[in-house]
Structure 1
Amino acid sequence: MTKTTVDSQRLYATLEAAKNEQGMSWRELAKEIGVSPSLLSRLGNGLKPDANSFATLVDWLRMPAETFFDHEGEDTSGLREPQLMTKLAPLLRAEKSLTPEDVEYLEKVISATVAHVKSRG
């Protein structure tokens, strides 16, 4: 039977990338998100967040919760990796400095670039 858990390392790494991108400290990030700094510290130590904290974090990241799911005991070798744009689209849409038109343009540019790279072999 498959057991689904939160991949706290992936969640922490994503939060760390957001923190670094915004030039914040962990304490500032916690305040921005609305969680305690100790929650972020526990994540950094590999501990799992409670359900409400997890929901708050993924909502702030504007990413699907399943991005941070780990399916223990499941054979994922036959599953295909999500498309690049499927992964990037939530990040682009979450970027506050981009207008919807900017996001649409970037999605087209990235898609065209990926198609070009794939056509080259």
Structure 2
Amino acid sequence: MSGRMDLSRLHDALDAQRRARDLSWRQLAEEAGVSPSLLSRMGNGQRPDLDGFIALVQWLGTPAEEFMSHSGDDQAAATPAHGPTPELETQLAMLLRARDDLPEADKEYLLEIVGATMRRIKHHAGAAGTDVAGPAASSDAGFGRLPQ
């Protein structure tokens, strides 16, 4: 099964962030480091090149996987309700690594706080006999460091 970029999802996310930050498409392009014509072409249904895609998802601060779909599958089949979900720690680490406005030490500190919180949730869920924290609480692995 091959994966494809979900252009409409990417464009919708860009538009939502653009509106939230009260930017024009030209300002978004400047901040993201892409040409305004790239955004115009995307609005007309053309996919960006790889460098443009990377610049845009980095500007959004969202993992690229959020904008992937699987050919031959509808969205519901591509992301089953009870299918594997990336660990919360992994998702947060990816988001923090994409930020350039935080020093590395602060990123590490934030991940330590989240790790302690997840351990507490796991402990309390285990004591109550339920797993309210889901798959993210199942492991503390890799929480002291950001994945490379």
After TM superposition, is the score higher than 0.5?
A: yes
Q: Name the TM-score, length of structure 2 as normaliser.
A: 0.58
What residue in structure 2 maps to residue 27 of structure 1?
Answer: 26
Give the Cα separation in 2 of the matches to 1:41 and 1:117.
45
Which of structures 1 and 2 has the bigger CA Rg?
2
Give the Cα separation in 1 of the matches to 2:5 and 2:32.
19
Alpha carbon RMSD of aligned pairs, Å?
A: 3.2
What residue in structure 2 maps to residue 48 of structure 1?
Answer: 47
Return closer, same or farther for 1:38/1:82 CA change in 2, 3 Å cut-off: same
- Residue-by-residue CA offset, 1:21-78 (whole Å, 9 max, x unaligned): 7664321120122222243344456542233422443455576544432112355437
Within 5 A, what are the aligned runs for 1:1-121? Answer: 2-16=1-15, 19=18, 24-44=23-43, 47-58=46-57, 65-73=64-72, 76=78, 77=80, 79-118=83-122, 119-120=124-125, 121=132
In percent, how many aligned pairs have the same letter? 44
Give the Cα separation in 2 of the matches to 1:46 and 1:116.
46
The more displaced of 3-12 and 57-66 is 57-66
Give the Cα separation in 1 of the matches to 2:20 and 2:103.
18
Q: Secondary structure at the match of 2:3?
A: strand
- Deviation of 1:8 (Å): 2.1
Q: Secondary structure at the match of 2:69?
A: strand
Q: Name the TM-score, length of structure 1 as normaliser.
A: 0.67
Size of the aligned set, in residue pairs, is 120
Q: Which runs of 5+ in 1 are unaligned?
A: none
